[in-house]
Structure 1
Amino acid sequence: MSATSAEFTPPERIVIATRESRLALWQAEHVKARLEALYPGCRVELLGMTTRGDQILDRPLAKVGGKGLFVKELEAALLEGRADIAVHSMKDVPMQLAEPFALPCISEREVPLDAFVSPRYASLDELPPGAVVGTSSLRRESQLHAMYPMLAVTSLRGNLDTRLRKLDEGQYDAIILAAAGLKRLGLADRIRSELPSEVSLPAAGQGALGIECLASRKDVAAWLAPLNDADTSACVRAERAVSRALAGSCEVPLGAYAEIRAGKLWLRGFVALPDGSRIVRAELEGNPADCETLGLALAADLREQGAEDILAQIG
């Protein structure tokens, strides 16, 4: 439904549920500003919340329930009518949404690559044997183990500021973060290098913001329609289809990354053992309109190459 259709009623008030980390608040404020520009006179308010994912910082995310811990409280606010929408980093959204919810909007993507951050070294190649590298994901960990077996890769939890503080305190020689978060918070100067996708294939949805609402709220979906970016949405939906088909979660080292090139959607993916001792990769190209079908096809290709065995070992 377009903003000019006879049925469309502009919003008078929109409440955004958001985590209270600095990055999550930036994302919510970004969406707030865009909605206010679209609908002058609309009151857009933030409902800040602390999620279980923000509270549990002493264990790897894969061990305590996965990324769904970052969205459950926000979804409760949607169900209870305390909020109209929730803003998420797409890489934090569970691959299988519960039935009452929908993702009608995925906005234009920031740089999706991983970033190398270190006060002493300019790149992974400069790190000496035994250097301690911190990361929050098994996806990054498996790729680092495979390409840089001489490094000591360890778990890193906490919000962005906490991770940078741990690095600056000397607990790590380097850490790997999503470049998008650093750039959004004005911390691009902390990035010593962006890791090419050939070195660290991004997570499904990395760098993209998604806006969630109740599937029954057709009015909300119509309000959000102008914020949706067709290319980003096609890429992210293809990536998520790969991950969903392979039961992708924090427990599975899996990457999926799509780009639009010359009108075609180019999709790559991998599944690995956490220690990087075995990795299977696949890629394909097709029509962006068939994004989810392409994702399923890539997942099937990965299974044929041995992903099933890897998943069985991890499970």
Structure 2
Amino acid sequence: MSDFSVALMSSAPIESADSASRPPTAPAPPAAVRDPYASPLAGKVAVVTAASRGIGRAVARRLAADGAAVIVNWHTSASAAREVVAGIVDTGGRAVAVRADLGDRGGPETLFAAAEEAFGGVDILVNNAGIGAVAPTADVDEDTFDRLFAVNVRGTFLALRLAARRLRDGGRIVNISTGYTRATFPNVGVYAGTKAAVEQMARSLSRELGPRRITVNTVLPGLVDTDGLSADVRANLDAFVAATPLGRIGEARDIADIVAFLAGDDARWVTGQAIVAAGGLV
């Protein structure tokens, strides 16, 4: 018997001989009746990293449409971030653009401080920031390796650590990983390795934050039509579409809709999960 099995067995409750005579545990209270016209994230505050383009932009827009106030994080494109914020505000939402480099130690603090000042706190963290590298392992230099781990792993860790300290009870953490961690493709080993680390950190954190009703989940997109698609992938797009059961590659809104579900009350019983969103390709 493994140590893990023993640990699981030892954590199980032990019933005494008179347990049958005890009164049954009180049932859970009935679910509240939901107003079908209410915004599902009304009153919530979301921080979305790398939200000026691609998946992050779609997530910020969707969470705002669902009623959340949103911190739109950007690093290199102020005009794109302002455009996202303007679109949200023009449709009656609330959003603020905040510059922060998630590869720097102070990046997550900048975002949380801005959210707390503008909106009073943080309920939802979406860790979308990340960089990629497509190259054979033999050609990846140490600088590229270090930068990938600095942004994708260290940056996400710093954001998760801060969320564990400052996210309000009942909050939501959603990480964006990649379907490459579930399939074997050449030339993405280092990138996929960074995202696998994120997935494992999320699983562990879900156990730590469960008592506070904070859920922690990860979404694993397949190919998504953003400016992040490599030239090699675009050159072989027809082959990828043919191999995908749903007959197309993903759109940013496909991922945003899943993030919105995980950020809302409907996903209150979902935590520690890695959800593949790849149209069946992975």
TM-score (norm: length of structure 1) = 0.26
Structure showing the higher strand proportion among its residues: 1
The structure having more radius of gyration, on CA atoms, is: 2
Question: Which structure is richer in relative contact order (CA contacts within 8 A, separation 6 or more)?
Answer: 1
Structure showing the higher helix proportion among its residues: 2
